[in-house]
Structure 1
Amino acid sequence: MSTERSFAKGSAAPGPVPKGHIRLYSMRFCPFAQRARLVLNAKGIKHEIINVNLTDKPEWFLEKNPLGLVPVLETPAGEVITESPITCDYLDEVYPEKKLLPSSPFGKAQQKMMLEDFSKVIPYFYKIPMGKKKGEDTSGLEAELNMKLSKLDEDLVNKKTKFFGGDSITMIDYMMWPWFERLECFELKHCLDRTPELKKWTAQMLEDMAVKATMHRQDSMKAFHASYVAGKPDYDYGL
């Protein structure tokens, strides 16, 4: 269940969260919000999606999250949870069907350490395309990104597993996926040519039902990205 079109400043606040559901405040093209959508889909959680215009935020949304960022979860009891890793951990804990995080404290810690490492890779996916648009030399940044992707590739080689947490998809795979889905629109897909295991991982992720359910077509993603880089993000592109 989704509102699709984004709510902007001056819009009326949505009513209470439907009983037996959880509400996700999202933005259709946001990779951080996609993390929560992946987990909701993977776990089969009944949910409602309210999309938000992040340039012209509704007043009622800022009351829920003064930082104005998505994703934001809201429960029927009016509880509000923010920040993508926290929202995803919350969903895994509250809805025990199909656990995505390991049960052992060490297993959980390992995934959190990997996520911490990956958070340092994310800025490259934005700095490189932005730099190219400005006509800057981004070869140094690209070399750094290649090094970081090689480490991820090495991780899969050493583990001898299909995914980062084993032979089935776990939380860490979903936490990393949204940026790999966008490699083509960032014009960075060639970076996978040096990382055969990572390339295999992306092909396997594309077969996943939750990934298929939350994906956008590449042309839509590219059009949104172009509007974002131009400073006029079209949150309702394609609707």
Structure 2
Amino acid sequence: MCTGISSDRLSAAMSRSQRSLVKGSPAPGPVPEGLIRLYSMRFCPYAQRPLLVLAAKGIKHEVVNINLKSKPDWFFEKSPLGLVPSLETPDGKIIHDSPIICDYLDEAYPGNKLTPADPYEKAEEKMLLEHFSTVISTLYKIFFAKKDNQNTTEVKEQFFEKLKKLEEDLTKKNTPYFGGQSVSMVDYMMWPWFERVNVFDVLEFLEKTPRINAWYKLMLQDPAVKETYTEPDVLLAFYKLYSQNSVDAADCGLD
């Protein structure tokens, strides 16, 4: 159980959540008709990506949370590497890896298209996400350095250099979002790590990148972001347990 979180904020953050399944838990039944099932973990940023897409597109779905420290044996049938997210369709098809899942959802479900139709614009977004993958890796270097009580100054400087490149990209594009005039797939693919800036202790760098800071504030108002958002104090409580390798981390805050 997490500590140090006010009860009102905790209940609001957890009202949409469910306890994770662990080793020995029975497998869920078939995916109900009219729904699609996402195997997730409540605090995983990669799993938040398809949750954002599901919310943005209004796709009816159910979520099965998996405890990644104690995975049910049957889960490897749903995800060969035992990772989340993984998607299961009513006819038993399995799709895994967050970018692939998100692309599938955008193509399989009409309305509110999140990826550009123009091939070059699509390639631009994929190149941007390739760069962003290096931002993610740097953020985790910061996290593990903090966990091991190491000096984070150098790796934070590396993060800031990568963030400045994103700032240049957004300045050159001259739009409020990385995807253009409205929020799109590339914004949702990047957002989960910006939601965790407090966990990685890099919030100060947003103030030094005004374009990204403006984007960050706009994203906080997006309906899909609001629907999937977890409060910073809840995230911090989870990552404290996670850094202790606690099996209880996945159900942080649940009774």
Q: Residues 12-49 of structure 1: CA distance to partner in whole angstroms, max 9, x if unpaired?
A: 10000010111000000000000000000000000000
Normalising by structure 2, we get a TM-score of 0.91
Q: CA–CA distance in 2 between the matches of 1:107 and 1:3?
A: 36
Match of 1:127 among 136, 141, 145: 141
Match of 1:14 among 23, 28, 31: 28
**3-state DSSP of counterpart to 2:95:** strand
Moved >4 Å (runs of 4+) = none
Structure 2 partner of 1:45: 59
Offset at residue 174 of structure 1 (A): 0.2
Structure 1 partner of 2:90: 76
8 Å CA contact retained: 2:36, 2:87: yes
Q: CA–CA distance in 2 between the matches of 1:2 and 1:90?
A: 24
Q: CA–CA distance in 1 between the matches of 2:80 and 2:16?
A: 23
**3-state DSSP of counterpart to 2:129:** helix
Offset at residue 81 of structure 1 (A): 0.2
**3-state DSSP of counterpart to 2:37:** strand
Instruction: Report whether the alignment pairs 1:57 with 2:71.
Output: yes
**3-state DSSP of counterpart to 1:115:** helix
**3-state DSSP of counterpart to 2:38:** strand
Q: Residues 78-129 of structure 1: CA distance to partner in whole angstroms, max 9, x if unpaired?
A: 0000000000000000002100000111121111111111111101111112
Percent identical across equivalent pairs?
54
Give the residue type in structure 2 aligned to 1:79. Answer: K
Q: What is the 5 A alignment of 1:86-235?
A: 86-232=100-246, 234-235=249-250
Q: CA–CA distance in 2 between the matches of 1:75 and 1:64?
A: 11
8 Å CA contact retained: 2:55, 2:227: yes
Gaps of 5+ in 1: none
Offset at residue 2 of structure 1 (A): 6.9
Offset at residue 58 of structure 1 (A): 0.6
Q: CA–CA distance in 2 between the matches of 1:19 and 1:198?
A: 41
- How many residues end up aligned between the 2 structures? 239
Offset at residue 132 of structure 1 (A): 2.3
8 Å CA contact retained: 2:17, 2:42: no
Structure 1 partner of 2:40: 26
Offset at residue 135 of structure 1 (A): 2.4
**3-state DSSP of counterpart to 2:156:** helix
| RMSD (Å) for aligned C-alpha atoms | 1.3
8 Å CA contact retained: 1:2, 1:50: no
8 Å CA contact retained: 1:192, 1:199: yes
Give the residue type in structure 2 aligned to 1:71. Answer: P
8 Å CA contact retained: 1:2, 1:48: no
Gaps of 5+ in 2: 1-14
Q: CA–CA distance in 2 between the matches of 1:21 and 1:2?
A: 17
Moved more, 49-58 or 2-11: 2-11
Q: CA–CA distance in 2 between the matches of 1:195 and 1:3?
A: 33
Higher relative contact order (CA 8 A, sep 6+): 2
Q: Residues 192-233 of structure 1: CA distance to partner in whole angstroms, max 9, x if unpaired?
A: 121011011000000000000001111111000111112215
Normalising by structure 1, we get a TM-score of 0.97
Q: CA–CA distance in 1 between the matches of 2:251 and 2:243?
A: 16
